[in-house]
Amino acid sequence: MSSRRRRIYEGKAKILYEGPEPGTIVQYFKDDASAFNNKKKGTITGKGVINNRISEYLMTRLNEIGVPTHFIRRLNMREQLVRQVEIIPLEVVVRNVAAGSLAQRFGIPEGQALPRSILEFYYKNDQLGDPMVTEEHITAFGWATPQDIDDIVALALRVNDFLSGLFLGIGIKLIDFKIEFGRLYEEEMVRVVLADEISPDSCRLWDLKTNEKMDKDRFRRDLGKVEEAYQEVARRLGILLDPGAGDHRGPVTVQ
């Protein structure tokens, strides 16, 4: 693993290590899962391996259409090299269909299509339980400038349009997702880029035909078959994950 490298930060789902070159970091994807502001904890066997691949795939596709991201390259089963950014402390949520906290707060049945995509900001702060905030709070407290917010909104909507179509093409509805952005400093320039990860941990994904959940709600709501659902998302994306190649599995006994 990465015992050689200096550990910068350990979060709920990933560990960050100092990267090989200045301005780079290594994201190590763990199997740890958490929900409801860390009140529910567990592990999803093999999740880190799958999310590393899915996030690599989606960030690469987004890069190709001109959405700037922190992603550089995948290093191995659980690690990817990314550009170190100054994380903007916001969780940016884009919703297409009512689910989760939106369905709860407004009493809208889960699964009801929204009249238009809705974008929400949450202040990224575990102690405070990631409270929802408005642009007023964001600019007043200096978490981001009005220009940052403009960039974030434009990028988030492009990500939503692109990923909605991409998932639809493989029989999956993109219900909602959470993304994070960071400031990338290069050559006296600073720009806002997509950071962190995009995976079934951070998206709600429903099967188009059956509405079956294929994301972390299976863990949140104890629906079972969590790893299988993540695997199925990877499979439909065309990411071949040899079940024997995961570092989480022992030798397979052939009957």
Residues lying near ligand ADP in the complex (CB under 6 A) are found at 9, 11-14, 16, 25, 70, 82-85, 87, 180, 182, 195-196
CB of 222 to ligand ADP, least distance (A): 21
CB of 193 to ligand ADP, least distance (A): 8
Distance between CA 213 and CA 250 in Å, rounded?
Answer: 28
Between residues 85 and 97, which has the closer beta carbon with respect to ligand ADP?
Answer: 85
CB of 13 to ligand ADP, least distance (A): 4
> For residue 37, what is the DSSP state?
T
Distance between CA 115 and CA 59 in Å, rounded?
Answer: 28
Distance between CA 246 and CA 227 in Å, rounded?
Answer: 12
Between residues 18 and 110, which has the closer beta carbon with respect to ligand ADP?
Answer: 18
Owner of token pair 């089963």: 77
| 120: Cα within 13 Å, side-chain hemisphere | 17
CB of 253 to ligand ADP, least distance (A): 34
Of the candidates 33, 47, 57, the residue with the CA atom closest to the CA atom of residue 78: 47
Between residues 129 and 165, which has the closer beta carbon with respect to ligand ADP?
Answer: 129
Between residues 97 and 194, which has the closer beta carbon with respect to ligand ADP?
Answer: 194
